Amino acid sequence: MDVQEETIAAISTPPAEGGIAIIRISGPDALEVADRLFIGKNGKKISDQKSYTIHYGMIAEPVFDRSSDQTDLFNINRDQRSNDHAPGRMMIDEALVSVFRTPHSYTGEDTVEINCHGGLLPARKILEAAVHAGARPAEPGEFTKRAFLNGRIDLTQAESVMDLITAKNDFALRSSLSQLEGSLSKKIDEVRNCLLHETAFIEAALDDPEHIDMSGHIGDLRRTVIGQMGKIQSMIDRAESGQMLKEGIKTVIIGKPNAGKSSLLNVMTGEDKAIVTDIAGTTRDVLEDRINLSGITLRLLDTAGIRKSDNEIEKIGIERAKMHAKDADLILFVVDSSVPLDENDQQILRLIEEKKAIVLLNKSDLEAVVTKPSLQKLTCAPVIQISAKNHEGIDEIESFIRKMFFSGEMRVNDEAIVTNVRHEKALEDAERSLSYVLKSIDEGFPEDFYSIDLMDACDALGRITGQTAGEDLINEIFSSFCMGK
């Protein structure tokens, strides 16, 4: 794919009022476009300035002939800057303009960033002026796409940029930063380069069998493939936890009517999200919210109470509760400790048998009819006594979630953590191809079978970093980016 030669511009800050707005211009004519907009002190031109410098001045409607009277325009009193003092030009805003010269910029191209006041109108007017001066509006993600196409970053690092922007918790933030620094890319490249070396040796042996003997190399190849499969499997094993930490653990709250599910949701979110009454069956639909528990994001879903019902609307809510429970990463089963267990509780206990679940023995502030020891005899899930009314036991829930999903702790150093479904799928494809190599070795197939499957594994790994990614995949990935990035 050829890097586009057009100069692009976009507003890189959110479309809202704020202290500062940033308009980014990038491409071969970025400095010239800035010259047509910028009025600096003593006739300063942006195209004459060094990289990594910032310059104060005015942004005005573009001019294509920089004459000597630009100094006079700058020195006009701020309140008097208008068409009367600068015929044919309208001042837009005062600004700080940053210069980043190729190749040491985010995109690898000449780049200018205009920092103006953060109103909606000034930023839009400056963008319009930049387009009039020779740039074109950037597509979503086009700046990062150019960084990728210019070799500044690989595809995993490009995707981590968007992950960084949308990070919802501390883990997602640290994981995105680690991936932006190349932790996953390095791990993928190590495996891929090893497999490429083996492929090259096999191809050389097939081309020159008289001088290169493969017979003594088969055992080494087998051990190498098994070793690389282990590294790939290790990344796959961590993918589920990585994705849950990034997107949030889908946590479904279930239980009988009036067990305290909605009260628990309100306590955990810190808001009155759900209506709480003494009337059983108040919740009919699914209520959802996100919370952050010390770096862990939970996607909390409060569901209708599970019981036998003749009410058609309530029955729909109960079926939705069961559907979400089947698809949950974690189930919080709320049991009312003040009333005996019944067949509805038994049904829910069967529902959570094959799921990660925590049983919450609620209403510990009331006289207990159901005790923790008696409940523990009925389930393998951990049982915690809580009082949603008095906000008791919530910290213990967080502790159990850490143990269930992250072995009690979350660490993101330089480890390669897969948080992207696309990456996981490519790793699975690579592992499958390597399993075919082992099968070919064990069944005594010709050496060219090894080469074919090794190359398939390399291609799958290359899709992760962008080394073998097609244009359609590249366009699909960057189309999901936000404007101005």
Q: What is the pTM of this model?
A: 0.72
User: Does residue 55 have a pLDDT over 90?
Assistant: yes
Do 233 and 246 touch, CB atoms closer than 8 A?
Answer: no
Q: What whole-number distance in Å separates Cα of residue 393 and Cα of residue 335?
A: 14
Ranges of H-type helices in 208-311: 218-247, 261-269
**According to the model, what pLDDT value does residue 303 have?**
79
With a pLDDT cut of 70, the percent of the chain lying above it is 85
Mean pLDDT of 192-214: 83
- The CATH number of the domain covering residues in 248-406: 3.40.50.300
DSSP sequence for 13-45: S-SS-EEEEEEEEESTTHHHHHHHHEEEGGG--
- The CATH number of the domain covering residues in 8-153: 3.30.1360.120
> Where residue 71 falls among pLDDT bands split at 50, 70, 90?
very low
> Where residue 278 falls among pLDDT bands split at 50, 70, 90?
very low
List the one residue out of 424, 412, 400, 399 whose CA is nearest residue 169.
Answer: 412
List the one residue out of 206, 197, 204, 203 whose CA is nearest residue 225.
Answer: 197
Mean pLDDT of 276-297: 62
Do 114 and 23 touch, CB atoms closer than 8 A?
Answer: yes
Q: What whole-number distance in Å separates Cα of residue 427 and Cα of residue 80?
A: 63
Backbone Cα Rg of the chain: 30
| Sole residue written with tokens 């951990």 | 382
- What are the sequence ranges of the domains in the chain? 8-153, 170-242+416-479, 248-406
Give strand ranges (E) for 133-209.
136-137
3-state secondary structure of 432: helix
**pLDDT tens per residue across span 336-390:** 888 888 888 888 888 888 888 899 988 887 888 888 888 888 988 889 998 888 8
> Where residue 272 falls among pLDDT bands split at 50, 70, 90?
low
List the one residue out of 291, 295, 299, 292 whose CA is nearest residue 411.
Answer: 295
C-alpha dist (Å) from residue 367 to 2, 259, 262, 336, 372: 73, 14, 21, 11, 13
Q: What whole-number distance in Å separates Cα of residue 34 and Cα of residue 100?
A: 12
What tokens does 389 get? 């009314």
φ, ψ of residue 291 to 5 degrees: the values are: -130, 155
Give strand ranges (E) for 179-320.
249-255, 287-293, 296-302
Q: What whole-number distance in Å separates Cα of residue 485 and Cα of residue 481?
A: 7
Do 123 and 11 touch, CB atoms closer than 8 A?
Answer: yes
Average pLDDT score, the chain: 82
Cα 87 → chain centroid: 49
What tokens does 185 get? 């890319």
Q: Can the peptide bond before residue 103 be classed as cis, meaning omega within 30 degrees of 0?
A: yes
Kindly report which listed range (175-184, 346-355, 405-414, 437-446) carries the lowest average pLDDT score: 405-414
Third-level CATH fold of 170-242+416-479: Four Helix Bundle (Hemerythrin (Met), subunit A) (1.20.120)
